[in-house]
Amino acid sequence: ETGVTQSPTHLIKTRGQQVTLRCSSQSGHNTVSWYQQALGQGPQFIFQYYREEENGRGNFPPRFSGLQFPNYSSELNVNALELDDSALYLCASSVGTSGGDTQYFGPGTRLTVL
């Protein structure tokens, strides 16, 4: 069984640029959630996709957007990058959206904005 994978591993961008991060969910999982983890903090929920539809969103501005594809893989897009967007971006997949469905995380993408 293949776990959650993310690409790229590391990324360096400059302010104002746009970035796309990718996530492949674990086999059999139809739900993908994205989290942002700033240095020294716990992850913060960005949004979740369930069967290609956004299924909840955290307190992030609209320049954070996403997609989920028919194979349940997902993208996180960030426009007009700011220095504070520098963080580890984690993707998690789960079988469904109920409270008991464990979210399994990928290795993350470390984004640095200069």
Partner 1 sequence: AQKITQTQPGMFVQEKEAVTLDCTYDTSDQSYGLFWYKQPSSGEMIFLIYQGSYDEQNATEGRYSLNFQKARKSANLVISASQLGDSAMYFCAMISPRDSSYKLIFGSGTRLLVRP
Spatial CA neighbour of 28 closest among 93, 108, 82: 93
Candidate residues 55, 65, 73, 86; the one interacting with partner 1 per rule CB under 8 A: 55
Nearer to partner 1, 37 or 73 (CB): 37
Give me the torsion for CA of 53, 10, 38, 68, rounded to 10°: 0
Contact in structure between 34 and 53 (CB atoms under 8 Å):
no
Candidate residues 57, 60, 67, 95; the one interacting with partner 1 per rule CB under 8 A: 57
* Interacting residues toward partner 1 by CB under 8 A: 33, 35, 41-45, 47-48, 50, 55-58, 88, 90, 92, 97-108, 110
